[in-house]
Structure 1
C-alpha cells in the first residue's frame, strides 16, 4: 500500500470542523446553548489557521527539497 504524505493543514481544518460539529451536537443534546452564528467564526478561523499551516509546511518542504514528502 502506498503511503500518503502528511498534510498538517488538512489536519487543522478537520479539527476545527469537528469542533464546530461537536459544539452543535452539544447544543442539540441540550447540554448547553449555542448562538446560531457561532459556527461562522469557528470555521472561518479554522480555515485561516489551516491555510497558514499549509503555507508554512510548503515553505519548509521547499527549503528542504522534499516537495512530495518522501525526502530528497
Structure 2
C-alpha cells in the first residue's frame, strides 16, 4: 500500500465541523439548548485553527533531497 501525505489542517477542519454537528444533534435530541447563531463562530474558529495548523505543518525544514529522492542542484551528499 502506498503511503500518502498527511494533511493535519484538513483533519482539524473536519473535527471542528463534526463538533458543530454534535452540538446541533444534542440540541435536536433535547439534551441541551443551542442557539441558532452558535454554528457560525464555531465554524469560523475551526477554519482559523485549521489554517494555522496547515501553516505550521507547511513550515518544516527541507532535507537535502527533493520528494522524488533526487538531490537538489548545488547540494552534494556528505557520505
TM-score bracket, normalised by the shorter chain, equals 0.7 to 0.9
Q: TM-score, structure 1 length as denominator?
A: 0.82
Distance 1:26 1:59, change over 3 A: same
Does the CA-based 8 Å contact 1:17-1:43 persist in structure 2? yes
Query: Which is richer in helix?
Result: 1
Larger radius of gyration: 2
**Unmatched 5+ stretches in structure 2:** 72-79
**Unmatched 5+ stretches in structure 1:** none
Paired residue secondary structure (1:37): helix
**CA RMSD after TM alignment:** 2.2
Higher relative contact order (CA 8 A, sep 6+): 1
Q: TM-score, structure 2 length as denominator?
A: 0.76
Aligned length: 68
Does the CA-based 8 Å contact 1:58-1:67 persist in structure 2? no
Does the CA-based 8 Å contact 1:8-1:54 persist in structure 2? yes
Partners of 1:51 and 1:25 in 2: CA distance:
26
